């Protein structure tokens, strides 16, 4: 788990409006969010996987054909 040391900026009513974090903590949070997004995308793709596979050479051919059409 990431340990954070937030500092808050409050508006004129005393309500927390902004958070300030040390850059390293912010970077760690962003890395974690990116990892979570990768996991979410993987899980989503896995649900749609029908088990069909094609040889790599065929996949490259398909990609090249699509590029030529553009």
User: Using one digit for the tens of pLDDT, what is the confidence trace for 27-49?
Assistant: 999 999 999 999 999 999 899 88
Quick one: pLDDT at residue 1?
Answer: 81
Full-model pTM: 0.62
In a domain, 1, yes or no: no
In a domain, 51, yes or no: yes
- DSSP assignment, residue 69? H
In a domain, 47, yes or no: yes
Domain, as residue range, for 47: 7-69
Model confidence band, residue 19 (pLDDT cutoffs 50, 70, 90): very high
In a domain, 2, yes or no: no
In a domain, 13, yes or no: yes
Look at the chain and report how many structural domains it folds into: 1
Quick one: pLDDT at residue 10?
Answer: 97
Quick one: pLDDT at residue 13?
Answer: 95
């Amino acid at each position: 788990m990431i340990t954070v040391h937030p500092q808050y900026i409050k508006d004129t009513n005393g309500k927390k409006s902004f958070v300030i974090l040390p850059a390293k903590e912010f970077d760690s949070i962003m890395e974690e969010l990116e990892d979570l997004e990768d996991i979410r995308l993987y899980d989503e793709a896995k649900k749609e996987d029908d088990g069909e596979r094609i040889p790599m050479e065929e996949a490259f051919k398909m990609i090249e054909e699509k590029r030529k059409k553009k």
